[in-house]
Amino acid sequence: MIKQIMGCEYTELGRSVIDGIEVEGFRTTDPAFYGGAMENVELTLWVDVEKWLPVRTEMDFKMNEQMQMHGVIYDYQWDIPIDVGEFEPVIPEDFTAFPTEGMKMPSMSEEAAVEGLKFFAEIFGQYPKKLNLMNLMQEFSALKDSENLTDAGLKLKEEMKQMTKDKDDEHIKKVMEMMRQVQSLGMFYM
């Protein structure tokens, strides 16, 4: 988190004392702090001047039209013993893995971003309102309730209905491949 804030535009707030610890404060309003996924970012980080570890974090941001968040993280605990068993996953017996065979990771290239824009326009008949990943995924997830779709959008909507009904691996892979184009667009702008 410290490196992340140092990689953005930030303001030094000077020194203070929090919970008896001498700290130095940094504040950023740079949207790049969250990779462009958030709007109206304001993050204040107080760092222990001796250990150079976070002591308190205060954050405010807006993710999309419906979500705003305010949070304070404090009482960090560093260098405490941890039982390795806490990291052992507990997998239910009836668990089935999501099919990932043959799936590609989203690309972050200009070409992939252009393809993502084309795909979005083919489905919705317009470009997305915002290009950050969170807003793109929210806009795209509205597909199931949308009535204003192109023919390609209506076809995809049916594919997605079929996928949820059948839970067929082939349908899932096909829809995930389409979603990859939208993810590539959002990731390019992170």
Domain ranges across the chain:
2-74, 110-188
Residues of the chain with pLDDT under 70: 34-39, 63-66, 98-106, 166-169, 171, 189-190
Q: What is the structure's pLDDT at 182?
A: 78
- Mean pLDDT value across the chain: 83
Please classify residue 106 by burial: count the beta carbons closer than 10 Å to its beta carbon, then call 0-12 exposed, 13-18 middle and 19+ buried.
Answer: middle
pLDDT given for residue 150 in this prediction: 86
pLDDT (0 to 100) of residue 18: 96
Residue-wise pLDDT tens digits, 100-132: 666 666 677 888 888 888 988 888 888 888 877
So what's the pLDDT on residue 83? 93
40 φψ region: left (φ > 0), alpha (ψ -120 to 50), beta (else): left
Separation in Å, CA 38 to CA 13, 45, 72, 154: 23, 17, 17, 30
pLDDT of residue 120: 86
pLDDT of residue 3: 86
Would you call 184 exposed, middle or buried from its count of C-beta atoms within 10 A (0-12, 13-18, 19+)? buried
pLDDT at 27: 95
**Per the structure block, which two tokens stand in for 13?**
């707030």
Distance CA 79, CA 86 (A): 16
DSSP state of 183: H
pLDDT value at residue 190: 62
The string of DSSP codes covering 121-140 is HHHHSS--S--SHHHHHHHH
| Structural tokens at position 2 | 């410290």
Residues 155-167 pLDDT 10s: 878 877 777 776 6
Q: C-alpha distances in angstroms, 87 versus 52, 77, 92?
A: 27, 18, 16
**Residues 6+ away with beta carbon under 8 Å from 149:** 123, 124, 125, 143, 156, 157
